A = this chain, B = another copy of it.
Amino acid sequence: MPQIRQNIATKEWVIIATERAKRPEEFAKKLEKKSLPAFVESCPFCAGNEAKTPPEIMRIDSNGKWQVRVTPNKFPALSSEGKSVYSFEGLQRNITGIGIHEVIVETPLHNITTALLSVPEVENVLQAYLSRYISISADARIEHIIIFKNHGEAAGTSLEHPHSQLIALPVVPSQVRHRVEEAMRYFDDHGECVFCRMAKEEIESKERVVLESKDFVAFLPYAAFSPFHMWILPKRHAASFSEITRNELSDLSYVLRTVLAKLYWGLENPDYNYVLNSAPLDTGSRYLHWYVSIVPRVTKSAGFELGSGMFINVALPEKSAEFLRNVKIPE
């Protein structure tokens, strides 16, 4: 019998269609043995091609060479200049599209993938996220910051060189606002943060845990909306990513890198997105809890998902978690 599960934090329902269940390894795509060169002349993100990007915002160096570089997006979705002006006329509401759109180049090398970076290299990437997040938070025009990564074509990118993006918005998206409302309602009813409770219960039950570290737990939510959909939750309550400590950042690098490597080796380099979900800048610090969500693109969303916002997950989260726990990462 299928189940319809609710994610208690987001209040979203998911159909877990066990009749259609596949074995976890059936989601693996054939690992492409295509070998890429370390440097590609036309790639704007390769070391040596720095002139092909807009002027650099920051870099993290090692031995005089950059390891991570942040630049404005050459084709930004929002304009960084100007004020956010509201124009509300009858049914037509708009705001001038100001905001910030940056690219984080994760490595000078073209032919590597984030899952194969070393933990210190991933830490450099997270350090760049944090720096940019904190700087941009000071911009009074900005209400919400999203940091995300698209890996592979099914995940919406055609650029091979490992990179992530940051978009800072002058509005809070309605989906995010609904999450804040749900988190507040839970807090009002129970006197605690729903994500803190969830982290505790997942760690106790272990059923859906992929990896637990000192400061984080990576698990498939009870109502995971697709196979291998994971959350990495900090154990310590904090609404904003900007509150992460140096030690936690190190620990998160280890967890993120391990989880991505498990996907890489267990599912043969699947396309995926990850998103760093932090509270809107103006939210009370008690209610929401920041986290990273990772969504491997092993299935497609279609008309049902569009029309309902609900997902059909053809794998049991407990089975997917067990599979990932058992994936060995080669040394």
Interface residues of chain A, those whose CB is within 8 Å of chain B, are 1-6, 8, 10-13, 15-17, 19-20, 75-79, 82, 90-98, 144, 146, 148-150, 153-157, 165, 167, 169-171, 173-176, 178, 194, 197-198, 201, 222, 273-277, 293, 295, 300-304, 306-310, 312
Contact = CB atoms under 8 A, between A and B. Distances in A.
Contacts of A274: 303
Contacts of A178: 174, 178
18 contacts: A2-B77, A4-B96, A4-B97, A6-B93, A8-B92, A11-B174, A13-B171, A13-B173, A13-B174, A15-B77, A77-B312, A91-B201, A146-B303, A148-B304, A148-B306, A175-B310, A275-B307, A293-B306
A96 B18 CA distance: 12
B156 A97 contact: no
Contacts of A308: 144, 146, 167, 169, 173, 175-176
A159 to B, nearest CB: 12
In the complex, which of the residues A6, A75, A79 has the most CB atoms of chain B within 10 Å of its own CB atom? A6
A302 B157 contact: yes
A309 B170 CA distance: 15
A275 B307 CA distance: 6
Nearest to A11: B174
Q: Which 5 residue pairs are nearest across A and B when measured between Cβ atoms?
A: A156-B302, A175-B309, A2-B97, A148-B303, A275-B307
Contacts of A2: 77-79, 96-97
